Structure 1
Amino acid sequence: MTFWDKAYDTPSYKYGTQPNAFLRAQIHRLAPAGRVLLPGDGEGRNGVWLAAQGYGVLSVDGSAVGLAKARALAQQRGVTLTIQQADLAQWQPEPASFDAVVLTYVHLPSALRTSVHRRLAAALRPGGWMIIEAFHPLQLGYTSGGPKDVDMLYTLDALRSDFAGLLREELAWDGVVPLDEGPGHQGPAHVVRWLAQSAF
């Protein structure tokens, strides 16, 4: 089993079954019934919630265990979720085919991060939104979750650099928020929140 297969191989949902708070706060920006890509969607909490709001959702993850739990959650909630198992390091989404890309705590090593981010930005249609929440390097001082390797933690400057020339920044913030996302994310956390739009 992979690291994430082991992490998800429990009866409970590691990060809960409710959507991320930043995603919930920004969803009003999306046109109704749009198509949303969720790379690294894990056990499906965000994808299932978006599907319940009427969006067409593609949840992509490398963990077969996580995706099986996403299917179960979608069935329980009575929604349709399209699922694909793939390694984001190599996976190539169809260009200009999504109205939004949602990255919630998808942490990649810096050697991969920029190329993956740029491929995901290219998947946005004109006017499409990139919605990101991730842990900041200062998260190393907290016990509420996230990688323990600073190379896999994100700053606003790194995100701006990754998407330079592709997306227009709408919102950029970093600071401490309270997390209550299943057993995996509990307590105060230092995060980055970044929202940007593809050029029309």
Structure 2
Amino acid sequence: MRIRANSRTMPAMSHLITVLGLVALVLGQPAAPATDDAKLWAHYETWVATLPALPPGERVPVADRYAAQLATEGISKEEAARRFERINVLRRASSAREAVYWNASFKSGGGPDAPLQLLQEAVRHLKPGRAIEPGIGRGRNAIWLAGQGWDITGYDIAKDALTATQAAAAKAGVKVTTLEGNHDTFDFGTAQWDMILCAYCFMQADDPRWPVAFARALKPGGIVVFQSSVLTRRSVAELAAIWKDFHILRAEDLDAGMEQNDWAPSRTVPTARLVARKR
């Protein structure tokens, strides 16, 4: 079919060509959010790598430190807040990104300073022995245990968490062994530990992997001390069935508000507590 152009058809054809051209232009564009996310994360990762660690005892929210950096680049507080909120989403894409995120947190004094109350109550009448803490963070629990005479080892995916732990341990005059590792690959060994402590370390008490691994890793009579935010509410009977190779000494499922979240009191998710002894 041949279209003959005249004074009446030209405007319509011109409009059609313009519309089709715009459609082609839009369809041909790369996905902007993905590109922006990649650039945003690369910028954040570079910033974290050069971020100086605060001295033990000092604390500044990571969001504030990041906003201060962005301000030097001409970025508004509102845009800085939006970017940090997006970073909180992007970090969950991989354990490597989580490590970057937590490096920034522990360089900035993130997390509480006092040892876990449940831990203090659980070991009150125990003879000190060998203990391990997955997700050691800045070492608040490990350093307290070392001061009580425990031989304590901890691991974390964040290298700067280990650096912060060692700095705090040196200041306290105690010894803590630190290792870089993650939950999926760390070997807890066989009959090595008198206690395993899991304090807000991104393990779930109802994950069937941990009762099996911990039963193998603990010495006879060894205990597990577990406190964390929960994803799925479980009854004591359900937890007892999952931890069937353990004698349950204490099990609680607490609604936020009844008991403060030890890691971040402002959180509104339930907190689970579990103390169990290997049979």
TM-score range, shorter chain: 0.7 to 0.9
1:41 equivalent in alignment to 2:157: no
SS of 1:113 mapped into structure 2: coil
Query: 1:177·1:188 contact (CA, 8 Å) conserved in 2?
Result: no
1:19 equivalent in alignment to 2:115: yes
Residue in structure 2 matched with residue 105 of structure 1 by the alignment: 200
Q: Percent identity?
A: 22
SS of 2:266 mapped into structure 1: strand
How far residue 89 of structure 1 moved from its aligned partner, in angstroms, is 0.6
Q: 1:163 aligns with which of 243, 246, 251?
A: 243
Residue in structure 2 matched with residue 144 of structure 1 by the alignment: none
Compare the two structures and name the one with the higher strand fraction: 1
* Distance across 2 between alignment mates of 1:129 and 1:163: 12
* Distance across 2 between alignment mates of 1:156 and 1:122: 25
Higher relative contact order (CA 8 A, sep 6+): 1
TM-score, length basis structure 1: 0.78
SS of 1:126 mapped into structure 2: strand
How far residue 188 of structure 1 moved from its aligned partner, in angstroms, is 6.2
* Distance across 2 between alignment mates of 1:42 and 1:180: 14
Give the 5 Å matches for 1:83-122: 83-108=178-203, 113-122=207-216
* Distance across 2 between alignment mates of 1:194 and 1:163: 10
Residue in structure 2 matched with residue 172 of structure 1 by the alignment: 251
Residue by residue over 1:8-30, the C-alpha shift from the partner in whole angstroms, topping out at 9 and shown as x without a partner, is 42544211221111111212142
* Distance across 1 between alignment mates of 2:239 and 2:161: 26
How far residue 59 of structure 1 moved from its aligned partner, in angstroms, is 0.7
Give every structure 1 segment of 4 or more consecutive aligned residues whose post-TM-superposition deviation is greater than 3 Å: 153-162
Residue by residue over 1:23-43, the C-alpha shift from the partner in whole angstroms, topping out at 9 and shown as x without a partner, is 112121421x31111111122
Compare the two structures and name the one with the higher helix fraction: 2
Residue in structure 2 matched with residue 135 of structure 1 by the alignment: 229
How far residue 113 of structure 1 moved from its aligned partner, in angstroms, is 3.5
Query: 2:250·2:274 contact (CA, 8 Å) conserved in 1?
Result: yes
Gaps of 5+ in 2: 1-95
Query: 1:5·1:66 contact (CA, 8 Å) conserved in 2?
Result: no
Residue in structure 1 matched with residue 124 of structure 2 by the alignment: 28
SS of 1:88 mapped into structure 2: coil
How far residue 51 of structure 1 moved from its aligned partner, in angstroms, is 0.6
Name the count of aligned residue pairs. 178
Query: Relative to structure 1, is the Cα distance of residues 75 and 154 closer, same or farther in structure 2, using a 3 angstrom cutoff?
Result: farther
Residue by residue over 1:32-65, the C-alpha shift from the partner in whole angstroms, topping out at 9 and shown as x without a partner, is x311111111221111111111100011112111
TM-score, length basis structure 2: 0.57
Query: Relative to structure 1, is the Cα distance of residues 109 and 54 closer, same or farther in structure 2, using a 3 angstrom cutoff?
Result: closer
What amino acid is the match of 2:181?
A
Query: Relative to structure 1, is the Cα distance of residues 131 and 70 closer, same or farther in structure 2, using a 3 angstrom cutoff?
Result: same
